[in-house]
Chain A
Amino acid sequence: MTPALRTQSLSKEWGSFKANNDVTLAFAPGARHALIGPNGAGKTTFINLLTGALLPTAGEVFLGDENITALPQDARVKRGMTRTFQINTLFPGLTVLESVVLAICEREGRAGVWHRTVAQQRAAADEAGALLESLHLTAERNATTRSLAYGKQRLIEIALALATRPRILLLDEPAAGIPAGESAELFGVIAALPREVTIVFIEHDMDLVFRFAERITVLVAGRVLIEGTPAEIAADKRVKEVYLGEAERG
C-alpha cells in the first residue's frame, strides 16, 4: 500500500549543523506514529520540513504519490496535511469561535468572500460550534484567545487543526506544558478521531507514547536511530541508552 506520507533522504543543514540528516520515513494510512528522541534530535525540524515551514537542503517529501517538496505550506494543508505547534501559535486577538470559523472558511474556499458577513456563514458557524462543543470549549467561544488559560489554548491548537479536516495530522507535543490529567484528556480527543486519519505526533511523555502509538520512530542527532512497534522500541538496548535511560534518570 502507498504510504500516506513519506520522506526520501530528507536533510536540513544550517552551516555545518545537520538538524535532519538523511531521514527516510514512511507513514501508513491510518497510522498512529510517534516521533521520539532527546531534545535537539530534530523532531520539530522534521515536522517543519513535512509542512513546508522549512525547505530541505536535500531530499524529498511525498504525499501519497505526489512529490510536494516544493509546495508552499497552504497548498499542503489544502491537500489534507495539517500540523499543530509545540508553542501556541494562535490568533490572540480573535475570539475562539472566530478563529475556528476562519479555519473552516479557509478550508471551504470561502475566506476570500467579501460581500457577505461572517455571521452569514451559517454552515461554518454551526460546524465550528459543534467542534468547540466536542472539545468542551463552548463556554469560551466568545472569549478572545489571549484571555484563556494555557490549557484551553492548547485545545484551540487542536481545534484549529481539526477544522481543516486533515487526512494527515502532525502533532508537535500537543500536551506540552499542561498537567498530566489534562494531557490524558487531550489525547482522548485525539484517540477519538476517525481511524482513517493518519496521525504523527511528537511527545515526551513516555506513558502517552506507549499508550497511544502503534509505531514509534526514534530520532537522535537528526538521524533515524530505529523504527518499530512499541514493544520493539521498549526492548531495544540502544534506545534505552540514548533516550529511555536518560528519561528514567531525569
Chain B
Amino acid sequence: MTAAARASVAPTAATVSRLPDGRWRALEIAFWLLPVAAFFVLPDYRVLGSQILIAGLFAVSLDLILGYAGIVSLGHAAFFGIGAYAAGLLAKNGFNEPISGLLVAAAVAALAGYLVSFLVVRGSDLTRLMVTLGIGLMAWEAANKAAFVTGGVDGLSFTAGKLLGTWGFDLGGRTAFLYALAVVFVVLLIVRRLVSSPFGLSLRGIREGGKRMPAIGAPVGKRLRTIFTVAAAVAGIAGALLAQTTQFVGIDSLGFPRSAELLIMLVLGGTGRLYGGFVGAAVFMIAQDYLSGIDPVYWEFWIGFFLVVIVLFARGGVLGGLDSLRERLVSRQ
C-alpha cells in the first residue's frame, strides 16, 4: 500500500466521530505511576502522600458537582466530616475493620447527601452557596454540641483495626499510603467511567445549558440529586480514609475552612477535568508543607496569590493552563 492510499484509509479528524470513550491515555497512566514511585523513592513523605491522595479524592468529589454539573458548594466538608465521624465512631465502638467501616461511612454520607440534595437542587447559584454554607455550619455546630459522642473540639481518637486482618496502621504511614492509594484508585475507576457515560454527558449538559435540558426531556432535578448523593458518598469515603489512616477525627474535618480549602484546591488544579482535584491537592499541600516550613505565618499569602494569578491568567487551573499551552504549541507547528 502506498503512503497516500494508507493516509486515505487511516481515520482522520474529519472522518472520526469523537465521543467520550473512557480510554486510558498515556498521561493518565503516568499520573498513577507517580504515587507508586513516590512510595519507594520518598519513604519519608508517605504520610504527606496519603494526605494528598485523600484530599485529592475529596476534591474529585466536589468536581463531580461543581466541575461537571455546575453546582457550587461551600459546605462540601459536611459530607467529608460525616464520613470521618461514621468511620471513627464505628471503630471507637468496637467495630474497627477498615474496609467495611469505609463502606458504612460512604453509605451514611450518601444518605446525608441525598437528604440535602433536595434543598440544593432548587434555586440559583447564590441560593446554593448559602444553603450549602448553612448546612456546613449546622454540621459543625451539631458535632460541637454532641461532644459526648464526637469528642467535640478535642476530637475523637480511636484504634483502627488491621487492614485485611494483617497490616496495622504504622507511624511511618506505609499501610496508610498503600490503603489510601488502593481505595482512591478503585473509586477513581468508578468515577472516570461515570464522567464518560451518558449520565456524565447529561451532567455537562446541565452545566452548559441548564435551560435547554428540560426542553430535550431531561429530568434535571433528579440528575442533580443523583450526582449530589454520589459526590457526598465519595466525600464520605475520603473523610473515612483520613480518619482511619490517622486514627483520629478532628472537628475541623467538617468545618467551613475545609470546604473553602477544598474549593481552592479544585480551582487551582482545574475543574471538570477529573484529575484537577489531585493536581490542586498536590500543589496546595506541597506548597503548604514547603512554604510553612519557610515561614509558618505567611504561607496563606502565597496560596492566595497563586489562586488570584491562576483564576485571572490561567482559566481552568493548572491543567487548563497546560492544555492551552499545548494547543498553542501544536498550532505553531
- Give the residues in chain B near A74, CB-CB below 8 Å: 213-214, 217-220
Given the complex of chains A and B, what is the CA–CA distance between A245 and B191 in angstroms?
Answer: 61
**A139 CB, nearest partner CB in chain B, Å:** 7
A119-148 residues at the B interface, CB under 8 angstroms: 119-121, 124-125, 129, 139, 141-142
Inter-subunit contact A94/B205 (CB<8 Å):
yes
Q: Which residue of A lies closest to B214 (CB)?
A: A73
A69 to B22 CA separation, bound complex (whole angstroms): 41
Residues of A within 8 A of B18 (CB): 95, 97, 142
Which A residues are in CB contact (< 8 Å) with B212? 85, 89-91, 160
Are A114 and B217 within 8 A (Cβ)? no
Interface residues of B in 1-40 (CB under 8 A from A): 13-14, 16-22
**Contact, CB under 8 Å: A77 / B208:** no
Stretch at the interface among A2-10, A30-38, A100-108, A207-215: A100-108
Q: Which residues of B sit under 8 angstroms from A164, Cβ to Cβ?
A: 216-217
B196 to chain A, nearest CB (A): 5
CA distance A102 to B307 in the complex (A): 34
Query: Residue-by-residue, is B36-56 near A (CB-CB < 8 Å gives 1, otherwise 0)?
Result: 000000000000000000000
Q: Which of B197, B202, B220 contacts A117 (CB 8 A)?
A: B197
Supposing A98-B19, A125-B19, A129-B17 touch, asked if A115 and B216 sit within 8 A by C-beta, the answer is: no
Interface membership of A118, Cβ < 8 A: yes
B219 to chain A, nearest CB (A): 5
Does A72 sit within 8 A of B, measured CB to CB?
A: yes
Report the contact-size class of chain B (Cβ under 8 Å from the partner): 35 or more
The reply to whether the CB of B111 lies closer than 8 angstroms to some CB of chain A is no
Residue in B19, B194, B204, B213 whose Cβ sees the most chain A Cβ within 10 Å: B19
The reply to whether A89 and B20 contact each other, CB–CB distance below 8 Å, is: no
Q: Which residue of A is nearest B196, CB measured?
A: A117
Q: Are A102 and B216 touching (Cβ within 8 A)?
A: yes
* CB of B199 closer than 8 Å to a CB of A: yes
A119 close to B205 (CB less than 8 A): no
Query: How far, in angstroms, from A143 to B199 measured CA to CA in the complex?
Result: 21
A124 to chain B, nearest CB (A): 8
Tell whether A110 is near chain B: CB-to-CB under 8 Å: yes
Contact A72 B214 (CB under 8 A): yes
Task: Say yes or no: A98 contacts B201, CB within 8 Å.
Answer: yes
User: Is A204 an interface residue, CB under 8 A from the partner?
Assistant: no
Least Cβ distance of A145 to chain B in Å? 8
Task: Say if the beta carbon of A167 comes within 8 Å of chain B.
Answer: no
Name the contact of A113 in the complex, choosing from B17, B21, B198, B217 (C-beta under 8 A): B198
A58 within 8 A of B: no
By the criterion CB–CB under 8 Å, are A111 and B199 in contact?
yes
Whole-angstrom CA separation of A95 from B194 in the bound complex: 19
Partner of A115 from the list B17, B193, B204, B205 (CB cut-off 8 Å) is B193
Bitwise interface map of B from 159 to 196 toward A, beta carbon under 8 Å scored 1, else 0: 00000000000000000000000000000000001101
Which of A91, A107, A119, A160 makes the CB contact (< 8 A) with B208? A91
Using known A-B contacts A142-B18, A164-B217, determine if residue A92 contacts B208 with beta carbons closer than 8 Å: yes
Chain B: CB-nearest residue to A107? B217
Chain A nearest CB, measured from B211 CB (Å): 5
Partner of B19, one of A72, A89, A93, A119: A119
Residue A51 is within 8 A (CB to CB) of chain B in the complex: yes
Specify which chain A residues have a CB less than 8 angstroms from the CB of B200 in the assembled complex. Answer: 114, 118
CA distance A111 to B219 in the complex (A): 10
Using Cβ atoms and an 8 Å threshold, which residues of chain A touch B199?
111-114
Which residues of chain A are near B207, meaning CB under 8 Å?
Answer: 93
> In the complex the two chains form, is B218's CB within 8 Å of A111's CB?
yes
CB distance from B71 to the nearest CB of A (A): 16
B202 near A106 with CB under 8 A, answer yes
Known A-B contacts A102-B205, A105-B202; the reply to A142 vs B17 at CB < 8 A is yes
B215 at the interface (CB under 8 A from A): yes
Q: Closest CB-CB distance, A172 to chain B, in whole Å?
A: 11
State in angstroms the CA–CA spacing of A193 and B16 once bound together.
28
Q: Is the CB of B17 within 8 A of A141?
A: yes
Question: In the bound complex, what is the Cα–Cα distance between A163 and B215 (angstroms)?
Answer: 11
Q: Which of B213-244 contact A (CB under 8 A)?
A: 213-220, 223, 226
Asked if A117 contacts B218 (CB within 8 A), the reply is no
* Given the contacts A91-B209, A94-B205, A113 and B218 also touching, CB distance less than 8 Å: no
Contact B197 A118 (CB under 8 A): yes
Q: Is the CB of B223 within 8 A of A82?
A: no
Closest CB of chain B to A173's CB: distance in Å?
A: 15
Min C-beta distance of A189 to chain B, whole Å: 18
* Contact indicator B193/A111 (Cβ below 8 Å): no
8 additional contacts (CB under 8 A) given A74-B217, A106-B202: A77-B215, A103-B217, A105-B201, A113-B199, A118-B197, A129-B17, A164-B216, A164-B217
Q: Can you list 25 A-B pairs with a CB-CB distance of less than 8 A?
A: A53-B214, A77-B217, A85-B212, A90-B212, A91-B205, A97-B18, A98-B20, A102-B198, A102-B216, A103-B217, A105-B202, A106-B217, A107-B216, A107-B217, A111-B218, A112-B198, A114-B193, A114-B199, A115-B194, A117-B21, A118-B197, A121-B19, A139-B14, A142-B18, A164-B216
Binding site for A on B (CB under 8 A): 13-14, 16-22, 193-194, 196-202, 204-205, 207-209, 211-220, 223, 226
